[in-house]
Amino acid sequence: MDNQKIGFIGAGNMARSLIGGLISSGIKNTHLFAADPNEDIRNALEKDFEIQTFSENQQLVDQCDVVVFAVKPQALKTVATSITAKESALYLTIAAGIPSESLNNWLNSNKAIVRSMPNTPSLVLSGASGLFANSQVNEEQRETAESILRAVGLTVWVNDEKQLDAVTALSGSGPAYFFMVMEAMEKAGVELGLPADTARLLAIQTGFGATKLALEVDDAPAVLRQKVTSPGGTTEQAIKIFEEKGLTEIFSKAMKAAHDRAEELADELGK
């Protein structure tokens, strides 16, 4: 990937994160490009990363080996149909909900496309991204796509594109679930007598610490939960309430709703 030219159509927060992550991983800024109609955004990218930017998407497409669509899903069709796509390029999309077949049709077919589902922690280089490659993607392009997303966190591949809807429900929407748990813990802490700023700090750090521990040890989350739940202790009493209220079932229903909505959006946006 070191000698490939990578261009980003759309230069919002996610594109900035990917550009910054790639530079940090050793990619030369002379091999990175961005196109965006907003002059202020282009100027900021040029200042912060010293990369070349364009106001017209086609200027970027003409000279890049990899084109990353970092635009909103509603804008992807307009952007894709407005460019003349190079046959040899890899097209990587981070726009949620658009099936690869739809993007392929908009690009006039037979293009190498990787569809990805990153999440917002990618903004702080701690993301989780699911990826799917269509049949036109070769092994080198697959490795390139993985390297781009790995610059901002963890990556996993799915062999069935429909599984990206499950990825969306789990990790794509997942940060909001954790934020909601933190929010609830903060509120409960205040109700128990803690100052709001103390409750918030403890809730956030506890979430961070638990996640870090789960990542760095071999034990499954269920085992880690059991280890901290002493018989007759305080944690056991809290867990009993979660179980009585059906927390596992609540998560199952919530994620099913997110999954079903992802399928609906794919149908709506892919037309």
In 3-state terms, what secondary structure has residue 70? coil
Domains 6-166 and 174-266 share a fold: no
For 115-142, give one letter per residue: b (16+ CB within 10 A) or e: bbbbbbbbbeeebbbbbbbbebbeeebb
- What would you measure as the largest C-alpha separation in the chain, in angstroms? 67
Query: How confident is the model at residue 265, as a pLDDT?
Result: 87
- Residue 96: the pLDDT is 86
CATH of 6-166, picked from 3.40.50.720, 3.20.20.220, 3.40.50.300, 3.90.79.10, is: 3.40.50.720
Contact yes or no for 134/231 (Cβ under 8 A): no
Q: What is the pLDDT of residue 138?
A: 97
Write down how long the chain is.
271
Non-local (6+) Cβ contacts of 37 within 8 A are 55
Express each pLDDT in 60-101 by its tens digit.
999 999 999 999 999 999 999 999 999 999 999 998 889 999
**Predicted local distance difference test score (pLDDT) of residue 178:** 97
- The percent of residues above 70 in pLDDT, for the chain, comes to 100
> Which superfamily is assigned to 174-266 in CATH?
ProC C-terminal domain-like (1.10.3730.10)
Beta carbons of 9 and 71 less than 8 angstroms apart: yes
Please report which confidence band the pLDDT of residue 56 belongs to, taking 50, 70 and 90 as the band edges: very high
Sequence-separated (6 or more) residues with CB below 8 Å from residue 42: 11, 34, 36, 53, 54, 55
What is the residue extent of each domain of the chain? Answer: 6-166, 174-266
Question: How sure is the predictor about 28, in pLDDT bands with cuts at 50, 70 and 90?
Answer: very high
E strand intervals along 12-152: 32-35, 52-54, 66-69, 90-93, 112-117, 127-133
Strands (E), the chain: 6-9, 32-35, 52-54, 66-69, 90-93, 112-117, 127-133, 153-157
Other CB atoms closer than 10 Å to residue 54's CB: what's the count?
19
* pLDDT computed for residue 266 by the predictor: 87
| 84-100 burial: b if 16+ Cβ within 10 Å, else e | ebbeebbbbbbbbbbbb
CA separation for the pair 156, 169 (Å, rounded): 15
pLDDT for res 153: 96
pTM equals: 0.91
Q: What is the pLDDT of residue 270?
A: 81
Q: Looking at residue 218, what DSSP letter applies?
A: S
**How far does CA 172 lie from the centroid of its chain?**
6
The mean predicted confidence, pLDDT, of the chain is: 96
Share of residues in the chain with pLDDT > 90 (%):
95
